[in-house]
Structure 1
Amino acid sequence: MAAVAVAAASLSPEAEKLSKLQEKVADLDQISENEKVGFISLVTRYLSGEAQEIEWSKIQTPTEEVVVPYDSLRPPPEDIESTKQLLDKLVVLKLNGGLGTTMGCTGPKSVIEVRDGLTFLDLIVVQIESLNAKYGCNVPLVLMNSFNTHDDTLKIVEKYSNSNIAIHTFNQSQYPRLVVEDFVPLPSKVQIGKDGWYPPGHGDVFPSLANSGKLDFFLSQGKEYVFVANSDNLGAIVDIKILSHLIHNQNEYCMEVTPKTLADVKGGTLISYEGRVQLLEIAQVPDEHVNEFKSIEKFKIFNTNNLWINLKAIKRLVEGDALKMEIIPNPKEVDGVKILQLETAAGAAIRFFDNAIGVNVPRSRFLPVKATSDLLLVQSDLYTLADGFLVRNKARTNPANPAIDLGPEFKKVSSFLSRFKSIPSIIDLDSLKVVGDVSFGANVVLEGKVVVTADPGEKLLIPDGATLEG
């Protein structure tokens, strides 16, 4: 007994924290053994101080062999049968764990109406149905939900039961939030339902896909690649050219990157580092180099989070416990209690895969809807809808989209919709800034650089048919 006491007394503070945490986590009956193991592994790595220090002098700009220009990809087959054979090797996986709370909506963000009464999910289903119909292939759609979106999503997908598409769902892990003060799981201290838990970032897609049984299922069907993308990125459509290139060159992992603008300076970028391609995030950048990282001169591309990954490689790396992505600490507060969430990102996994590449894709493949300002763009005459795809209006000569800055009065989707009789024409718009209690009539045209300001306490209505220029 004395020896045990001595051993316990000699534990480091980190080891004591971990030992206490393991006891508490073992008692949590809301999560599976796999989730408990995954969580403890993540916390162990965090407490060990394990962090991959980036030596700035070793960073190299990737060559065109590592980040391949989209136009130089090998052309896809032209005949339908060869294209069918390619597409039959593909699974489409959409990250569907997010709620629409930032836009004032309840439920999964993917069920916000985007255009013509269709939601993100409707558009995704129509796109894949069109592919399956055109080529006679069987591309399935997989939704990775979180515990926040799972129940609602299961009800929603019922409406697609007669579609020409197999829809699968699985849940990403559910981890307990950590109380900063004493490093115990929040659900062990307070019974607060869902607020005690969090989904640990989209880097969790790899173990969760395996733990769900879906990975083995798709491998047994002869599937070879999964295309992973955010459900709110309307530009993330299946690209046969990229798929063909990856299969031909046996690339285990491909990240789509696109040229950086001043709006994207915080986005992660691809670098060559010690002979491998790697994602560099702003959080990894030493303070003295942050401005250099944000420059669009040296780091010209950023990660769209459109990822193409070989399924056999995922299985090999998950089973070998080899995916040790950088940990992203995310501090928050719940009912006045300081808590910590430890997360990982799927893009950071690129350095663990063999023959990994980036593809420098056109900006059209990155069209996320994060706020109502983005909703204005995709609902406008800048785009038309065909087979679930948003097609850019050729009348727009400027390759960049207008910069839209709507005030807080427009933040919620319901408020946004109530302030437009119809979405203005913005074909020739450079930028729009709206301040105050402003509403727009029907058939308004915006051109050049437009600023609309309502004085405090006043309502301003832009009349039907008005043209605002400069």
Structure 2
Amino acid sequence: MAIINSNSTCLINIYDDTGKLTDLGTEYYKVGNTALSQNKFGVVILSGGQGTRLGCSGPKGLFKICDKSLFEHHIDKIKKLKYSQNVRLFIMTSDHTDEDVVSYFKSNNNFNLDVVFFKQNSLPCTYKDGSVIKIEDHKVLTAPNGNGDFFKSISKFDLSDLYAINVISVDNVLAEILNPEFVGAFIKSKVDCLSKSVTKLPDENVGIFIKNSGKLEIKEYSEIDKDQEEACEGNICNHLFKTEFVKMMGLKDLPIHKACKNIPNDIRKAIDRPNETKCLKSELFIFDCFAFTDKNKIFSVPRWKEFAPLKNGMKSEKDNPETCAQAYRKKYNKEY
């Protein structure tokens, strides 16, 4: 197992220490700009998750940072693209978020964009002993089955007019979408997938890129030795996929990962074992697609430009609404 760092051949870094493009970056920018003019790129915003850790019951994408919802921040980025009127936008929702998300976009006239909504699937939640959790009327408690369901869920659409799709997570307020240098690096590298990364901070809870038996993988930070974890490249869930690869992955079965989660208090009152506080959720991870290709690389980006995730409420010191707002103001030099 090899840790991916600045010396790794599979890592592309085209920014200098100030965040400006190098000569290679400028070349990639031109290539990407030309490619974007051909109107063959799509965007998927992954927004099936709920905002329970934020202390809100609605979808994460509706949470406001600096007076705009996370969705609005991403829509603004798309509209600033030179060819935004021709970008196909897909929003992946879930049983838990679909109604609120669709209603929100409808009330805003879809922000004058062509938006397609699709739902990821759900899987049963279980207790630690494997028993399915039951709620009122003997219904089974379910949860969204992870961002890896993107491949199968989007495969019902005709994507033949698209060359590639940029997939982002809704909770990163600084996510850049189809920036030309990223698209150019993707094209020049001739890859199926190009994934953005940032240099990991000490004790930061992000997945880490590694290479194992010649294949890129992502490992949890807890699986890496302390003396190795610094200067690693961390996953920020911003991927550019060739559409042919997406179609192929729609026919594959990704492994199921079990995640131990807290059962929200309002749900605990309704389940068949109200004294239980934990449950197991079954999730598919989008990066498990790496096992199905040898043609993928990592694209390192400046943290201040592209990564400020909203993961927690204000009780946490990290990745909370205020840290996101601070990062946003720093990037755009705005005061709120």
User: Match of 2:50, SS?
Assistant: coil
For 1:311 and 1:197, the matched residues in 2 are separated by 30
Residue 256 (1) aligns with residue 196 (2):
yes
Deviation at 1:326, TM superposition (A): 6.1
Name the % identity.
Answer: 20
For 2:147 and 2:281, the matched residues in 1 are separated by 13
**Equivalent AA in structure 1 for residue 86 of structure 2:** N
User: Match of 1:77, SS?
Assistant: helix
For 1:161 and 1:130, the matched residues in 2 are separated by 18
* 2:196–2:299 CA contact under 8 A, matched in 1: yes
Superposed CA deviations along residues 101-121 of structure 1, whole A, max 9, x for unmatched, are 322323112112212x32111
For 1:162 and 1:206, the matched residues in 2 are separated by 24
Which structure has more helix as a fraction of its residues? 1
Change (3 A) 1:325 1:308: farther
For 2:152 and 2:290, the matched residues in 1 are separated by 15
Deviation at 1:339, TM superposition (A): 4.0
Deviation at 1:151, TM superposition (A): 0.6
* 2:2–2:211 CA contact under 8 A, matched in 1: yes
Q: Equivalent residue for 2:154? A: 209
Can you give the 5+ residue segments of structure 2 that lack an aligned partner in the other structure? 16-23, 269-273
Residue 327 (1) aligns with residue 280 (2):
no
User: Match of 1:248, SS?
Assistant: helix
Q: Equivalent residue for 2:212? A: 273
User: Match of 1:158, SS?
Assistant: helix
Superposed CA deviations along residues 156-192 of structure 1, whole A, max 9, x for unmatched, are 11134264421111111111223444x45434x8536
* Residue of structure 2 aligned with 1:161, choices 109, 122, 139: 109
Deviation at 1:148, TM superposition (A): 0.9
For 1:80 and 1:275, the matched residues in 2 are separated by 32
**Equivalent AA in structure 1 for residue 102 of structure 2:** L
**Bigger CA radius of gyration:** 1
For 2:143 and 2:297, the matched residues in 1 are separated by 31
For 1:270 and 1:81, the matched residues in 2 are separated by 30
Per the normalisation by structure 1, the TM-score is 0.59
Per the normalisation by structure 2, the TM-score is 0.80
Counting matched residue pairs gives 309
Residue 127 (1) aligns with residue 67 (2):
no
**Greater relative contact order (CA < 8 Å, ≥ 6 in sequence):** 2
For 2:309 and 2:102, the matched residues in 1 are separated by 24
Superposed CA deviations along residues 51-90 of structure 1, whole A, max 9, x for unmatched, are xxxxxxx4354654311113344422289765422xx221
* 1:173–1:204 CA contact under 8 A, matched in 2: yes
Q: What aligned pairs does 1:176-255 form with structure 2 within 5 A after superposition?
A: 176-181=124-129, 183-187=130-134, 191=137, 196-210=141-155, 213-214=156-157, 217=158, 219-220=159-160, 222-238=161-177, 239-255=179-195
Residue 300 (1) aligns with residue 232 (2):
yes
**Equivalent AA in structure 2 for residue 350 of structure 1:** F
* 1:81–1:135 CA contact under 8 A, matched in 2: no
* Residue of structure 2 aligned with 1:100, choices 47, 51, 60: 51
Can you give the 5+ residue segments of structure 1 that lack an aligned partner in the other structure? 1-57, 385-389, 394-421, 424-470
Change (3 A) 1:198 1:355: same
Q: Equivalent residue for 1:68? A: 12
User: Match of 1:75, SS?
Assistant: helix
**Equivalent AA in structure 1 for residue 76 of structure 2:** V
**Equivalent AA in structure 2 for residue 209 of structure 1:** I
Superposed CA deviations along residues 299-358 of structure 1, whole A, max 9, x for unmatched, are 522111111111211211322x2x434623435554235643221221232232231111
Change (3 A) 1:64 1:107: same
